[in-house]
Amino acid sequence: MKWNVALLQMDVAFGQPEQNREKVRSLVDSLAVSGSQTDVLLLPELWDTAYDLPRLDEIADEQGERAIELLSWAARRLNSYVIGGSVAKRAGDQVTNTSFVFDRKGNLIGEYAKVHLFRLMEEEKHLTAGNRLGLYEMDGQTTGSVICYDIRFPEWIRTYALQGMKVLFVPAQWPNPRLQHWRQLLIARAIENQMYVVACNRVGFGGGSEFFGHSLVIDPWGEVIAEGSEQEEVVQAQIDLALVDEVRSRIPVFTDRRTSLYDLK
């Protein structure tokens, strides 16, 4: 099975959710009229609010309703699965950094709240951590998503891989100057789990940080098959899920694991 993936490597207006929603709508419309087939669309992390965390009481999306409406429309507009990056979702007195996932008909098929909160940007002061895997069935294939800082925790990603995941989607706001961390961590996650990694990072400035883009599509051998620039663009690539099975059969790392020796506590 082959999928054409599209990554919205976009700038995000700091603390301006309505402006950002309009931008997503415009980018999706442009992609739709371009005539290119899209099977999976991926957005960056916190594309609605950026890291304007102190104002989340004012600007967070109640139950994610506005994001869900827009992303469901995007899925129908493109006849595509949508991994909705992530948004600031308010539920009661808690706000989570949450990704919503939709099928080609615009139905919500899953969500994931960021599990590992990034202290360098004070997420733990403003957000509630998630506590569940983000696994989804897409065209009969097992896929999953994590968010940004989560990729620094290989045991978390391996947990997904052990559930049969073939493609990991990663929305992010990964800032300068850690470009090499971004690239090498994502490549390592692809190689060690023998899976595709599709990662969308934002560009631009916000909250005192600069974001460098370099969205990536990486195959199960760890080869980069598409990489964004440092400018706003739609990064596109085709992935062949049959390659996952081929790589896993040739180097049987899952069969050769010796779990009785592993202590992750």
Enumerate the β-bridge partners of residue 209.
206
Q: Note whether 233 and 9 are within 8 A (CB).
A: yes
Cα 152-208-111 angle, rounded to 5 deg:
45
Q: Note whether 102 and 72 are within 8 A (CB).
A: yes
Written as six digits, the tokens of 187 are: 């490549």
Determine how β-strand 224-227 pairs with β-strand 135-138: unpaired
What SS3 state is found at 11?
strand
- How much is the CA Rg of the chain, to the nearest whole Å? 17
Q: Note whether 87 and 48 are within 8 A (CB).
A: yes
Q: Which sign does the torsion angle of CA 232, 106, 117, 183 carry?
A: negative
Q: Is 99 exposed, middle or buried (0-12, 13-18, 19+ CB in 10 A)?
A: buried
Catalytic residues: 45, 114, 148
129 vs 119: CA distance, rounded Å: 12
Q: Note whether 53 and 122 are within 8 A (CB).
A: yes
